[in-house]
Amino acid sequence: MEFDFISSFPPVTRVYLLLSFIINALCFSKIINGISLLLNLKLVIQHHNFWRLFSHLFYFGETGIKSIFYIFFFSRYSKALESVSFQGRGFEYLYLLITGNSLMLLMKLFVREATFLGPGITSMVVYIWGKKNAQQQINLVNLIHIKGSSLPLILMVSSWFLRQKTLKSDIMGMIAGHLYFYLEEIYPRLNGGQKVLSNEKMLKKLILM
């Protein structure tokens, strides 16, 4: 039954969730120190902690309502995005996540407080899903009905209302999502189909080598 639940997720979302669960469980059990996963560009450059360029994406801070909140949102909307908008295009969806991480790494140069961006990647996925499903009605806790385009804002307001330290990561994720959506969806329409972002073919070649 558990395997059926896990296998119900498309491949990229499934791998991300498994890594997130494992890493957060290891941190909760004190087997891994969460500090060793945080994004610190100084340690990356001076001490060659290259894993920090990616490990910060799977860590959501101290285990609690906050981390469950973000994992739930990622699992729901990443599954929806990969299953529908990127159906059969797993490498392209993986390329989206890598591009989002790269954009947030650039923003990190100006936002020192953002040390783990699991919330940011969740915010980016929700933002892109909201853009692609702007008119879809969403029922929140059986009380409030909103459009898909409003969901990223609700996520950010919830983070602010709960006084989470992840608000800046949320905003960075929304900015990364907006940049990706503009460069991938809007800019080509204005310039005869020409894309700014490279396609996923080189990524596919690297993985399948």
Under the banding of pLDDT at 50, 70 and 90, the label for residue 201 is low
Share of the chain above pLDDT 70, in %: 80
- How far apart CA 147 and CA 196 sit, in angstroms, is 29
Residue 132: the pLDDT is: 87
DSSP E strands in 47-186: the ranges are 137-140, 144-147
**pLDDT single digits (tens) 28-80:** 888 888 788 888 888 888 988 988 888 888 887 666 677 777 888 888 889 99
Q: What's residue 140's pLDDT?
A: 65
Task: Measure the CA–CA gap between 39 and 53, rounded to whole angstroms.
Answer: 6
Cβ(49)–Cβ(35) under 8 Å?
A: no
pLDDT at residue 79, as a whole number: 92
For the cut 60, the answer to whether the pLDDT of residue 10 exceeds it is yes
DSSP character at residue 209: -
Residue 25: CB atoms within 10 Å: 12
Distance of CA 114 to the CA centre of its chain: 14
Predicted structure pTM score? 0.84
Predicted local distance difference test score (pLDDT) of residue 59: 81
Domains and CATH numbers, the chain: 2-208 (1.20.1540.10)
